Chain A
């Protein structure tokens, strides 16, 4: 390969990298995540309202801030392609329900804490960006929380939350694909299991 070709490759890859970054507005993405966390802390965690109302508000925030369709598709991995349209919808619904219930229950542990935003990092995935934040702990080092944000037109959606380097989406994907591989009923078995888990949480709450 001669020098001209090398520099051409280098130049093209730079342009490509710049193009990928320019697609997402970093400042707006950070402001979006900040807004979501402030909304959650002020209007849900610190609000003086009954638990049922908190759950309702949380479900609303969760559904508007996260692109659960995208996350669900990622989480199912290669099984998304083999699932029927009906199964896909059932899975997304079950996954959404379980997450809303799990998280609204854990939300109160966040009382008295807040996020400190630390700028963004570029992502190589199309229209995505990482928003960095830390949460000061009572003792020792603050916890690192990174938000993977996707821009769709003028709209932003969270597509992954990475806590201390543990990606919720990747963990779920590893877990669910391992389950499907072992389950005799495949995706249907997973959906059934998730629905049962949601019911079990339901019972515990009421």
Chain B
């Protein structure tokens, strides 16, 4: 063990100790949020609003969509929506220095857009080119840009400052947006229809799980926030392959005092 490494370790532990000293006296070691009370009351209010919107508008529409479509139709819709965004993954894998995945997504886009009839069928998957998506948010994570506190955005839901910036860039670079941007009239309609279709398909895929979680939660907001933030640790600020189990970072505390 060299001295630099040891110094590094001391610094890291110093930082951790400093953080736990700085946090509220009654905070929990597993509470991964640094949400202050003002932000939390805004978040809870917006969360309530979104939940109302989901239950009374988005979920009924998603149920209607489920009713009139078969699983294979829904899969094709999902395939083509994903296919449209495949170039964003290509660019971001490149930004992350992952040439292999960047090439795979590019090949997938070429194959599925042509042989897969505009992405309706995932032909490339059958050829061993497995779907793997990424975006600006994950690129920022790989660059070790901090995530910031938990935020609830209107209609969209769970987010953080970093994910919001990533989402904004993803929107600007979305082929549907830049493909139609020369004509404001077409662009508006295409973008709204596209966003609505995405919202409906995402809700259709997740509503059973969300309803179940809500039914079994004593504090639905905290359950969603906790799961969302833990899941984001998957992105990690490390190389792409080694993040097997980020929960192990909680390990030291997983003993009962």
Contacts and interface: CB of A to CB of B under 8 A. Distances in A.
Interface in B229-257: 230-231, 233-234, 244-248, 250-252, 254-257
Interface in A168-206: 170-171, 173-179, 181-182, 190, 193-194, 197, 200-201
B251 A171 contact: no
Contacts of B125: 139
Given A167-B230, A173-B28, 14 more contacts: A74-B256, A78-B26, A102-B212, A124-B248, A126-B255, A128-B254, A141-B132, A146-B247, A159-B254, A170-B230, A171-B227, A174-B222, A175-B222, A197-B216
Contacts of A144: 244-245
Contacts of A176: 218-219
Given A7-B1, A102-B216, A148-B254, A130 B28 contact: no
Given A126-B255, A167-B247, A167-B250, A175 B223 contact: yes
Contact of A162 (B3, B30, B245): B245
B217 A175 contact: yes
Interface string A60-78: 0000000000100110011
Given A174-B222, A190-B218, A165 B28 contact: no
B254 A178 contact: no
A37 interface: no
A125 B218 contact: no
B6 interface: yes
Nearest to B228: A166
18 contacts: A74-B256, A77-B30, A78-B26, A124-B251, A125-B252, A130-B245, A141-B131, A160-B247, A164-B231, A165-B234, A170-B30, A170-B226, A170-B247, A171-B223, A174-B222, A177-B28, A181-B26, A190-B218
Interface of B: 1, 3, 6, 26, 28, 30-32, 75, 122, 125, 130-133, 212, 215-219, 222-223, 225-227, 230-231, 233-234, 244-248, 250-252, 254-257
A73 B153 CA distance: 34
Contacts of A162: 245, 247
B132 A140 contact: yes
Ordered nearest first, which 9 A-B pairs have the shortest CB separation?
Answer: A174-B226, A178-B222, A10-B1, A140-B131, A165-B234, A125-B254, A124-B251, A179-B219, A179-B218
A132 interface: yes
Contacts of A179: 218-219, 222
Contact of B256 (A70, A160, A167): A70
